[in-house]
Structure 1
Amino acid sequence: MASRHPEARIIGENGEGALVVIPTFNERENLPLIVGRLLAAQTGIHVLVVDDSSPDGTGDVAEQLATDDAAGRIHVMHRTVKDGLGKAYLAGFAWGLERDYAVIVEMDADGSHAPEQLHRLLDGINAGADLVIGSRYVPGGALVNWPKRREFLSKGANTYARLALGAKIKDITAGYRAFRREVLEKIGLDQVESAGYCFQIDLAWRSLQNGFTIREVPITFTERAIGESKMDGGVIAESFLNVARWGIQGRTAKFRKNK
């Protein structure tokens, strides 16, 4: 689909105008590392840490990082409940939209998303895309130190989602992505029910359904070196059932429209 934003540069070359939302739960060791790398890579960007009352003190670490940052680029949100990655992102999105950031970025706290590659996503936005996904499965994308079982599950989930939804996105489950604010304003965030990693498929599908331009750019995904993955069987089951439902709904709507 052609860009709807000719001459669409809205992010400064150092990340000015963009907010990176980083959800955390028990990431006290990883958080300073990832935030430090991010602010070194994009000196003008802002960061919002959304902490779900981590018992290991991650929230306190985030507050100290914010206090120590004289430029005021680091912000912290403390949530009193732990109800899923999706809900944490939704809270961060709402915070960013209220403060008029032009672009809002998703990034994991565990180091799997390289801040040094964020410019690829922002360049895609500046080139006119509405949503840019950092993809492991387009030419140039790569996986580092990921267990074969996780790779098999990831590739299987992406294949299943493409077939069920009729979408052409190769890495629709990816969590490294940048949204123009107009996308988040339009797609009905108050109706998003997905709480786990299915949230990523949900938002990409809503973006497609609303006619937004999606672009994938290659990234290198590196398995976390510190801590443990939050993925579990319930997340996989939620994704399987929701994708099947969305696929049926989409095909039914298309059939009725063409009838």
Structure 2
Amino acid sequence: MAKTVVVIPTYNEIGSIAGVTQRVLAAEPGVEVLIVDDNSPDGTGQLADDLAADDIRIHVIHRTEKNGLGAAYAAGFRWALQRDYDFVVEMDADGSHQPEELPRLTALLRDGADMAIGTRWIPGGVIKNWPAYRKLISRSGTAYARIMLQSKLHDLTSGYRGFRADSLRTIDFGTVNSQGYCFQIELAWLFERSGGTIGEFPITFVERAEGVSKMSTGIVVEALAKVTSWGLASMVGRAPEPLRLPAARSTP
């Protein structure tokens, strides 16, 4: 059985993190959880410690400041890659991603995918409780990124995704400098340009019921600016060098 860790960044998610964590642990045998808390003032970090004290499958990293989703994931990935996990998974803490869909994600990794993405914008994908303008913004942003980056992926910003650990080790996180949701775009683009195998599967995305969204104008501006910059650099042959991914292999 492949050993899997689900990395969950948190900032003020005290209302949802316990439920999401328990659902993850119930979703697949052998899975573990790493909570990466950015010094949440609402007590999320302390709750995470309490959860970890009660269950050896739960681990916690405390960061001293809130400096972006990308940095939180990079810290979680480094922690995971220092240990003997086969798969490393990303998931939001707010309940928008359904832990019960985790077995479908890891199945793609076991079949040899370097990266698996839970996708909203393919047949079977469902979004619940989003107004029409949110869907329009998300789809428009995804379409723009696909055009600029010449990507075939259908949901570049999805935060429900997983990686084979040996493929994730090829990334120098010191060169991945996106801090907001653009981190998701950059990571997917690196894998795609490297010719890695990427599997997509449809997910049900549910708008958060607890807490406040972390999306901001600054995050949107960062994504647009970086996608435009990468796209133009790629057109003139100055895009970053692709990753050197290991040969794919099946995992029990």
1:99 aligns with 2:80: no
Instruction: Give 4+ residue runs of structure 1 displaced > 2 Å after superposition.
Output: none
1:89 aligns with 2:73: yes
1:31 aligns with 2:11: no
Q: CA deviation at 1:138?
A: 1.1
Q: Aligned partners of 1:43 and 1:229: how far apart in 2?
A: 31
Q: Aligned partners of 1:218 and 1:188: how far apart in 2?
A: 29
1:66 aligns with 2:52: yes
**Partner in structure 1 of residue 177 of structure 2:** 193
1:186-208 superposed Cα distances (whole Å, 9 cap, x missing partner)? 13222010000000000001111
Q: Aligned partners of 2:21 and 2:29: how far apart in 1?
A: 11
Identity %: 51
**Partner in structure 2 of residue 243 of structure 1:** 227
1:108-158 superposed Cα distances (whole Å, 9 cap, x missing partner)? 000000000011110111111110000001111110111222211110111
Q: Aligned partners of 1:183 and 1:242: how far apart in 2?
A: 24
**Partner in structure 1 of residue 110 of structure 2:** 126
Letter in 1 for 2:26: A
CA contact (8 A) 1:187 1:207 kept: no
- Give the 3-state SS of the residue equivalent to 1:36 in structure 2: helix
2:157 aligned to 173, 176, 183, which one?
173
Q: Aligned partners of 1:214 and 1:21: how far apart in 2?
A: 19
1:227 aligned to 204, 207, 211, which one?
211
Q: Aligned partners of 1:176 and 1:144: how far apart in 2?
A: 16
Q: Aligned partners of 1:162 and 1:154: how far apart in 2?
A: 12
1:46 aligns with 2:17: no
Q: Aligned partners of 2:221 and 2:194: how far apart in 1?
A: 26
Q: Aligned partners of 1:201 and 1:171: how far apart in 2?
A: 9
Q: Aligned partners of 1:88 and 1:149: how far apart in 2?
A: 29
Q: CA deviation at 1:252?
A: 1.5
Q: Aligned partners of 1:68 and 1:100: how far apart in 2?
A: 22
Q: CA deviation at 1:254?
A: 8.0
- Give the 3-state SS of the residue equivalent to 1:186 in structure 2: coil
Letter in 2 for 1:242: K
Letter in 1 for 2:63: R
Q: Aligned partners of 2:167 and 2:233: how far apart in 1?
A: 21
Q: Aligned partners of 1:227 and 1:81: how far apart in 2?
A: 19
TM-score (norm 2): 0.92
Unaligned ranges ≥5, structure 2: 240-252
CA contact (8 A) 1:107 1:175 kept: yes
1:88–1:191 distance in 2 versus 1, CA, 3 Å: same
- Give the 3-state SS of the residue equivalent to 2:142 in structure 1: helix
Q: CA deviation at 1:218?
A: 0.6
Q: CA deviation at 1:43?
A: 3.2
1:140 aligns with 2:146: no
Unaligned ranges ≥5, structure 1: 1-11
Q: Aligned partners of 1:187 and 1:41: how far apart in 2?
A: 28
**Partner in structure 2 of residue 8 of structure 1:** none
Q: Aligned partners of 1:227 and 1:26: how far apart in 2?
A: 7
Letter in 2 for 1:30: S
- Give the 3-state SS of the residue equivalent to 1:221 in structure 2: strand
Counting matched residue pairs gives 239
Q: Aligned partners of 1:67 and 1:187: how far apart in 2?
A: 32
Q: CA deviation at 1:81?
A: 1.2
Q: Aligned partners of 2:113 and 2:178: how far apart in 1?
A: 24
Letter in 2 for 1:104: V
Q: Aligned partners of 1:100 and 1:241: how far apart in 2?
A: 37
**Partner in structure 2 of residue 3 of structure 1:** none
